[in-house]
């Protein structure tokens, strides 16, 4: 990896022009194109010499026999360093279009689902949002109602007031008394527990205490196995939108096939964001080249941030896209949505 110490003002100006031109056009950038936008009136010959130096330093590469150059991952890393140092990116400005997109949203899952959609539209990349288990999905109480046709209505209420109901189809008819006894057992033993922790402990008790609470645990077991306590959030609720944005030609379809399949595996996406986004970070992080976690994502970028409510990290949000993307606009959007998450969800609590 190259050091950025050899980049002087002239080199920085030319490298920035090349990166921004390539992002805009997708075509290798020649010295003539740089000279047309150069405010200092540098000649094409001078620009060619600087481009040669930048190529030798590992910032530019020459595809095929083209006279133009394209940025390397190291060039994008340098470019990101420059733009993230600008004041306006450190303090994301209000964006009325984004704010309108989240109007009426008051639930973490709704916010995250909307986030993946908005980020995919803004970036023309893949919008990703991952919510993690938090205090909001701790159990307050559950109740079951017997319905006709061996069906049961299971209602789960969290300590933050979120209500989730689920229709269950059972293998046998459960009496209302059995349902009330099972609900009482769960409420008395597990109030304040996260749904994930309840699932783990219930499974253990069902196996260990079968003989001791045979009749009671039979009903609890049947309701549990029927999905009564399926975690609406799961350890990670993962929302991915815009994968089709990465496929722009037949060649891309073959080249990106394996990577696209990876993005469709929700757990891998959650692990990817967790690997690169630190819950302690305050600003947006930009990672150029994701091959350390997923080899086939060498030429991709992650722009992401933790989603917080106060001091509690409730998930991550990010854009995943090719190295040729609008970094400035995407970084601003990610930063603004992360702040909006804190603002909206704090107001709801």
The model carries a pTM of 0.68
| Residue 307 vs residues 195, 310, 318: alpha-carbon distances, Å | 21, 10, 10
Q: Under CATH, which number does the domain 4-83 receive?
A: 1.10.10.10
What is d(CA 187, CA 166) in angstroms, rounded to the nearest whole number? 17
Exposed / middle / buried, residue 45 (Cβ in 10 Å: 0-12, 13-18, 19+): exposed
Give the pLDDT confidence of 31-53 residue by residue, as tens digits. 888 888 776 778 888 888 999 99
Residue position matching structure tokens 């995943």: 320
Report the share of the chain in percent with pLDDT over 70.
81
pLDDT of 233 higher than 70: no
- Domain residue spans in the chain? 4-83, 90-133+234-348, 136-225
DSSP letter (8 states) at residue 244: G
pLDDT tier for residue 87 given thresholds of 50, 70 and 90: very low
Q: Under CATH, which number does the domain 90-133+234-348 receive?
A: 3.30.450.40
12-21, 58-67, 143-152: least confident range: 58-67
What is d(CA 288, CA 74) in angstroms, rounded to the nearest whole number? 8
pLDDT of 171 higher than 60: yes
Mean pLDDT of the chain: 81
pLDDT of 348 higher than 70: no
Considering only residues 262 and 18, tell me which one the structure prediction assigns the higher pLDDT.
Answer: 18
CATH topology of domain 136-225: Enolase-like; domain 1 (3.30.390)
Backbone angles phi, psi at 299, to 5 degrees: -100, 30
């Amino acid at each position: 990896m190259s050091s950025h110490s050899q980049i002087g003002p002239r080199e920085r100006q030319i490298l920035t022009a090349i990166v921004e031109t390539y992002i805009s056009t997708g075509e290798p950038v020649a010295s003539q194109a740089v000279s047309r936008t150069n405010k200092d009136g540098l000649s094409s010959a001078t620009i060619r010499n600087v481009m040669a130096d930048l190529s030798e330093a590992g910032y530019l590469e020459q595809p095929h026999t083209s006279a133009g150059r394209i940025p390397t991952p190291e060039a994008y890393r340098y470019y990101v360093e420059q733009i993230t140092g600008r004041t306006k990116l450190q303090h994301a400005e209000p964006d009325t279009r984004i704010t309108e997109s989240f109007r009426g949203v008051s639930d973490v899952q709704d916010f995250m689902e909307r986030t993946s959609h908005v980020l995919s539209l803004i970036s023309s990349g893949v919008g990703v949002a991952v919510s993690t288990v938090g205090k909001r999905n701790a159990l307050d109480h559950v109740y079951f109602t017997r319905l006709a046709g061996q069906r049961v209505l299971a209602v789960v209420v969290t300590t933050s007031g979120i209500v989730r109901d689920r229709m269950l189809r059972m293998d046998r008819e459960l009496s209302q008394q059995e349902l009330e006894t099972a609900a009482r057992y769960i409420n008395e033993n597990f109030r304040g527990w996260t749904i994930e922790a309840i699932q783990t402990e219930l499974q253990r008790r069902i196996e260990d205490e079968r003989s001791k609470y045979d009749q009671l645990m039979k009903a609890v077991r049947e309701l549990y196995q029927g999905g009564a306590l399926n975690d609406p959030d799961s350890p990670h609720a993962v929302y991915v939108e815009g994968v089709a944005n990465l496929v722009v030609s037949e060649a891309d379809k073959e080249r990106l096939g394996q990577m696209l399949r990876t993005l469709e595996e929700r757990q891998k996406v959650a692990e990817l964001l967790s690997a690169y986004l630190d819950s302690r970070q305050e600003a947006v992080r930009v990672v150029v080249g994701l091959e350390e976690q997923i080899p086939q994502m060498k030429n991709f970028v992650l722009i992401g941030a933790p989603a917080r409510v106060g001091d509690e990290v409730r998930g991550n949000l990010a854009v995943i896209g090719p190295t040729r993307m609008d970094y400035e606009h995407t970084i601003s959007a990610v930063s603004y949505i992360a702040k909006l998450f804190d603002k909206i969800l704090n107001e709801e609590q």
